[in-house]
Amino acid sequence: MAVFVATEATLFGTIFGTYFYLRFHTTNWPPRGLPEPALTAPLILTAVLVATSIPMQLASLAAQAGRAAATRALLALALVVQATYFGIQIHLFLDDLDKFSPSGSAYGSIYFTMLGAHHAHVAFGVLIVLFLVLRLGRGLTRYRTVGVQSAAFYWHFVNVLALCVAATQVYAAL
Amino acid sequence: MTLDVRAPEHPRVERLEQVWEARPGLLGWLTTVDHKRIGLLYFFTTLAFFAAGGLEALLVRTQLARPNAHVLPPDVFNELFTTHGVTMIFLFVIPMTIGAFGNYLVPLMIGARDMAFPRMNALSYWLFLASGIFIYVGLFMGFGPDAGWFDYVPLALKHFSPGPNVDFYALGLILNGISSTIAAINFIVTIFKLRAPGMSLNRMPLFCFAMLAVSLALIFALPALTIDAVFLELSRKLSFQFFVPGHGGDPLLWQHLFWLFAHPEVYIIVLPAFGIATSIIPTFAKRRMIAFPLVALAELLVAFIGFGVWAHHMFATGLPTITLVFFAAATLMVVIPSTIQVFAWTLTVTAGRPEFRAPLLFIGGFIVFFVIGGLSGIMFAAIPFDQATTDTYFVVAHFHFIIFGAAVFPILGGMYYWFPKVTGRMYHEGLAKLSFWVSFVGTSLTFFPMHIVGLIGMPRRVYTYPSGLGFDSYNLIETIGAYVLAVGLVMVAANLLWSRFRGPFVGPDPFFGGTLEWTIPSPPPHYNFAVIPTVSSAYPNWDEQDRAVDARKLELGELTYESGHETPTSSVRDGALDEVAEMPSESPWPIVLALCAAVALTMVLLSHYAIAGIFVGLALLALAGWHTEEPEPVA
């Protein structure tokens, strides 16, 4: 999982790189006429998402200690928060699409691609946790313990990404 | 069939045969997770793509043999040279060295029974096959990629390339990239965790160091290409503006991201070949590799420094001078680790008692071509020279000397070298040596004149040229050379094919190699090692005492792990025994998942996004199904 995260992190590295490359090739950022990113809702949501690293890590530790019920409960808690986050973010994403378009400017293109890539990784993470919650219904095995540990690591990575994405949004609003 | 040179059937060996037996028939091959079978699948598939790419090259050369020729229409010419490049790089060289040689040999060289993630291994093969089919379907439908293998924008955008050609390119490369990423992850974990007890990192074969360097490079380089291709498809399909200056985009963004990937890619191409060379040389020079730790470090350094030189492909794009100077300096630096290796190889041969059998001949050819190609490469570090020769045949000469000379020649040498291990038979030595000389002459005739014709001004990627510019005779020689080279390659293929069925049987170690693959029978049994070997040096097959100890362990049942489908894992640095891993057997999920991914991308090509989404969903379900196959707990 660590190596997989390394490659996905690099993928986001290139996305952030592109973001700043385009930014420094443009005078006005966002371009005139386009709204600056909203900050309040996204920042609160990001904070909530990052907080799910706590139950994920606790679930990982519980799994390694062999406590199946605790693991399942912690994962379920994380899942609910992560899924809600995802739902709200999709709503905000669609809202943004009404305000400006990815095909109107490079700013729009990188904005929606960056957010889209992040949400895709969140969605995948939600599905992984859901899968684990279901599988743990049949008991905790060594294989599933490794699964929980890997999922926790993946989610820490996604949460760091969320912070980076939020940071670029803050940057654009400055 | 093959001579059974295995030890008489010991009950533990019988049990291993039972546990590791392969599922029979076609279904067995479609669901295989055995690294040797997957290696063979890669081998034959990449050979087919090599032939296709070679045919494309011959057609290109035939068109260019005479001035003002019209052997092919110009748009077909564009498809041919583009697909030639894409095929040779993404569908031949990388999958051959990593997928075929790497997959087959790495577990054998480190004393393991399979790769760390056997099902992921199968997945990377099926994804690779899908990517190749995807691109070639495009070609056969008349929509082959046609904007050059680096597919620059704005040519690649919808306005100038309205047909689906570029979409086949971009989506095919995304699929190919996923395949290579997965393979790289597998190699890194295998090399770090599955080495035999006692094989500390400094005792690991240099071939494995090369695979490690390559895998790390792939992990960090592929995302740049993937995101570039994604940006391109978003631009083409949904009118995103990454590359359009009028809307805040920049065409150079494509080039930066592309070369951020593609420069490390050329080291990815050449590093496994270095690994093959460093395997063949000690065996035929009959001594250890000189400066082993320096060579290992040099392999890793080439990959690392290679990330810092990408803009030397962009010297003619109008970047600021300070930028150009930085990259020129970095380019000069990257030469250093390569040179260390060249000296180490050459000195090892001269300091040993070399036996110039066919594999070593091919490595000799490799060193000659690599030095020439490297010299022309350094010349490009001089910015004014680069700006004068960019997009001329001088560049074509340079990279073909490197790719053909420094990647393909070791592959050919490696094919001969490991042929006895894979088949249990010996190739015909006389024909092999002849095939070397014909290939050597053919390569030289084809690519050397390109230096000259490039310096006198012939641009690359031109469909034809007028007579009277001094290009004519050079192009004719190059085309003749290409046909000679083709003959040489056919001789190699014929030799191997004939010997597979009629060659004399040989034992497990006909060349007295130093690494672990030579300790097991030829062809290797499904479980590779009856006893996981204990290693105390970098050339374990030359340590007779250790091998005798292993033989006694079979009696005692130590390190045999025959109760289940098992292989041991070990610590990263020192190779100290860790826990036992239970390995999966045949599984349908890899091919199913690959199929779903391929169909999903095909739907994107056809702009049926909703259906693409459905297939992504199916792929995720396949991934879930995959993870319901759990190992039985180890007793």
Query: Would you call A105 an interface residue with chain B, using a CB distance cutoff of 8 Å?
Result: yes
Omega before residue B359 within 30° of 0, cis: no
B489 in Cβ contact with B440 (< 8 Å):
no
pLDDT tens digits for range B534-590 = 888 889 888 888 888 887 887 777 787 777 788 888 888 888 888 888 888 889 999
Confidence of residue A153 (pLDDT cuts 50, 70, 90): very high
Nearest alpha carbon to residue B624 among A153, A49, A147: A147
> What length is written for chain B?
635
What's the pLDDT at A65?
A: 92
Biggest CA pair distance of chain A = 58
* Mutual angle of helices B429-455 and B472-502, in 10-degree steps: 160
Omega before residue B523 within 30° of 0, cis: yes
d(CA B209, CA B200): 12
What's the pLDDT at B633?
A: 61
In this complex, the residue of A102, A108, A141 whose CB is nearest that of residue B630 is A141
Query: Would you call A7 an interface residue with chain B, using a CB distance cutoff of 8 Å?
Result: yes
Shortest Cα–Cα distance, B570 to chain A (Å): 17
Contacts of A8 in chain B (CB under 8 A): 223
| Contact between B633 and A141 using a beta-carbon 8 Å cutoff | yes
In this complex, the residue of B231, B242, B247 whose CB is nearest that of residue A104 is B247
What's the pLDDT at B248?
A: 86
SS3 B264: helix
The backbone region for B607, taken as left when phi is positive above 0, alpha when psi lies in -120 to 50, beta otherwise, is left
Average pLDDT, chain A: 90
Is the reported ipTM for this assembly greater than 0.85? yes
Query: Would you call B627 an interface residue with chain A, using a CB distance cutoff of 8 Å?
Result: yes
Average pLDDT, chain B: 91
Query: Would you call A104 an interface residue with chain B, using a CB distance cutoff of 8 Å?
Result: yes
CB count within 10 Å of CB A170 equals 13
pTM, full prediction: 0.93
Query: Would you call B257 an interface residue with chain A, using a CB distance cutoff of 8 Å?
Result: yes
- Token pair 């065409």 in the structure block, residue: B251
3-state SS, B181-192, equals: HHHHHHHHHHHH
What's the pLDDT at A40?
A: 86
C-alpha to C-alpha distances, A84 to A55, A78, A174, B31, nearest whole angstrom: 15, 10, 28, 39
To 5 degrees, how large is the angle CA B300–CA B303–CA B307? 140
Q: Which residue would you say has higher pLDDT here, A2 or B618? A: B618
What average pLDDT score do residues A97-119 get?
90
Residue B570 pairs in a beta bridge with B577
Residues of chain B with pLDDT under 70: 1-9, 632-635
Residue B225 pairs in a beta bridge with none
> Which two structure tokens, joined as six digits, stand for A141?
């095995």
What's the pLDDT at B169?
A: 92
H-type helices in B286-392, by residue range? Answer: 292-305, 321-351, 358-379, 383-389
Backbone angles phi, psi at B57, to 5 degrees: -65, -45
B479 contact partners, CB below 8 Å, separation of at least 6: B61, B62, B64, B65
What's the pLDDT at B1?
A: 36
> What length is written for chain A?
174
What's the pLDDT at B13?
A: 85
H-type helices in A100-141, by residue range? Answer: 106-136
What's the pLDDT at B8?
A: 59
| Contact between A106 and B248 using a beta-carbon 8 Å cutoff | yes
B229 in Cβ contact with B604 (< 8 Å):
no
The backbone region for B151, taken as left when phi is positive above 0, alpha when psi lies in -120 to 50, beta otherwise, is left
In this complex, the residue of B223, B248, B250 whose CB is nearest that of residue A10 is B223
Amino acid found at B394: F
Contacts of A110 in chain B (CB under 8 A): 242
C-alpha to C-alpha distances, A99 to A38, A108, A150, nearest whole angstrom: 12, 10, 38
What's the N-to-C CA distance of chain B in angstroms? 37
CB count within 10 Å of CB B8 equals 6
Helices and strands in chain A, H and E counts: 6, 0
Query: Would you call B631 an interface residue with chain A, using a CB distance cutoff of 8 Å?
Result: yes
Amino acid found at B281: I
Mutate to test the interface with B, among A12, A18, A130 (most CBs of B within 10 A): A18
